[in-house]
Amino acid sequence: MRAKTTILALVAAGILAAGAAYVANKRNPALPPLVATIATPQGVTLHNMVAQNPVPYMQLSIIKGAFRFGDARGMTAYVTDADTTPGKSSCDGVCSSDWPPVIAPASATAIDDWSIVIRGDGVRQWAYRGKPLYTSAKDKVWGELKGDGAGGAWHVAVPAWANVPMPPGIGVREIAEAVGQGLVDDHGMAIYAGPALDEAQTGRHAFVPVSAPQIVRPVGDFTTLDRPDGVRQWVYKGHPLYTYDSDVRPGDANGLGVDPHYAIALVATYFVPGEVALRPDEKFGGIWTGRDGKSLYFRDITRFTANGSHSARGGDPGVPQVGRVLGLMGCDGTCETSHPPLIAPAGAQASGYWTLYDRPDGRRQWAYNGYALYGASADQKPGDLKGNDNYDVLRVETVALRAAVDPYGSGLFWHVSTP
């Protein structure tokens, strides 16, 4: 088993600390750390864009690789062309009724691409790269984009991670096991930042230099170096770039933890609650766990799709629309004796893929991608997965769930939570 644990344990501290997102290049101590930006601050959520599938029945499905920002509830965030002065909102009065601001919590502070606008009424509003964020009063449920294009001036707020100069053959995509957006090559394979000389190979596998054309100019933060073996290698912010020859398909991050001198070249890191960590797993590509190291689960609809079994790595991880409609209905008071809810501490704020549900007992519960999370008393120790694929089926007949999921009604089963 690969030694990913040390690297993945870094996500347990909430938003990844600056020191967690860089390569400790001991061979060149003068080289500054490669620090990634924070993808979302407190009160701003991250979502895949959605598409409507008219057959076999109307349903929303996620579009991998296309993202939008949202407020703490997950409602779509927008920007307007009318905001021409960075850090200042032009939408107040009647406008703010139609376009409510995305609120920055009192405890939030500006960070990286994120700043806070103090509106005329004293409300603290988030701004991304200087553009204030709003929601639309026309959007009533998660996933709606009714404000997009309004008046020719309003647009969905989307990340700009890849909107920077990139050399040919290098891009940016989500790397779930690295909990963020990272550099990838032209095949979609993860790129790692490492030492200038890659003599520290491990076992049968190796980190392979990302080669650059022999005639090329620097592009943005990308430069090149000429290696002793004759290869011209791409360098990002001073860090030579590599792929790992044991990564076999896009999304793999098998080189994590293999050698401490190499790490995924992240450009943006995702928020993770302090109550949660990511455990490496060959089949699932990582499993979310509680502080005790035991697996976390959610209840989902029973379905199989053309892209694989619902529980296989690369299969269908669930649709946020379903999780949000289901809410806390998937586990009642009796159920919670065998599946304790993942409780958020006082003052916790939604961010990234993580949101919160208000429980009847006054506490709040963490949800990932819309699905409320629970433990499983059947798991006795870290690494157990006795709660996964548990077909102790619960049939839910609510009109809302049937309309969103299946016109014939659906059974729900327990599924391990993965990034």
pLDDT in tens, 293-311: 999 999 887 655 544 455 4
Same domain, 50 and 142: yes
pLDDT digits 0-9 by tens, 317-330: 677 888 888 889 88
Question: How many alpha carbons lie under 13 Å from residue 6 in its C-beta half-sphere?
Answer: 11
Question: pLDDT grade, residue 3 (50/70/90)?
Answer: very low
Q: Report d(CA 372, CA 376) in Å as an integer.
A: 13
Domain that holds residue 398: 277-416
pLDDT mean over 142-152: 92
pLDDT over 70, % of the chain:
79
pLDDT at 401: 56
Same domain, 50 and 103: yes
pLDDT at 52: 60
Same domain, 86 and 127: yes
Same domain, 302 and 222: no
pLDDT mean over 160-169: 88
Task: With beta carbons less than 8 A apart as the criterion, state whether 43 and 71 touch.
Answer: yes
pLDDT mean over 101-116: 96
Domain count, the chain: 3
Q: Nearest CA to 56 among 407, 411, 413?
A: 407
What b/e sequence results for 23-39 when a residue is b if at least 16 CB atoms lie within 10 Å of its CB, and e otherwise?
bebeeeeebeebbbbbb
Highest average pLDDT, of 142-146, 178-182, 277-281, comes from: 178-182
> At which of 252, 269, 286 does a domain end?
269
Same domain, 244 and 373: no
Same domain, 199 and 318: no
Task: With beta carbons less than 8 A apart as the criterion, state whether 232 and 277 touch.
Answer: no
pLDDT over 90, % of the chain:
56
Same domain, 219 and 260: yes
Same domain, 284 and 399: yes
pLDDT at 315 over 80: no
pLDDT mean over 99-123: 95
Whether pTM > 0.75 for this model: the answer is: yes
Q: Report d(CA 284, CA 78) in Å as an integer.
A: 34
Place of tokens 């020191």: 19
Place of tokens 């009647």: 94
pLDDT at 360: 93
Same domain, 145 and 174: no
Q: Average pLDDT over the chain, rounded to whole?
A: 83
Q: 62-76, 145-159, 182-196 — which is least confidently predicted?
A: 62-76
pLDDT digits 0-9 by tens, 279-293: 988 778 889 999 999
Same domain, 334 and 405: yes
Same domain, 139 and 215: no
pLDDT at 14 over 70: no
Task: With beta carbons less than 8 A apart as the criterion, state whether 355 and 345 touch.
Answer: no
Q: What is the 3 state secondary structure string of 362-402? A: CCEEEEECCEECECCCCCCCCCCCCCCCEEEEEEECCHHHH
pLDDT digits 0-9 by tens, 194-245: 987 755 454 555 899 999 998 888 999 999 999 888 889 999 999 999 999 9
pLDDT at 349: 96
> At which of 156, 179, 212 does a domain end?
156
Task: With beta carbons less than 8 A apart as the criterion, state whether 125 and 132 touch.
Answer: yes
pLDDT at 407: 45
Same domain, 187 and 151: no
> At which of 213, 236, 269 does a domain end?
269
Task: With beta carbons less than 8 A apart as the criterion, state whether 115 and 87 touch.
Answer: yes
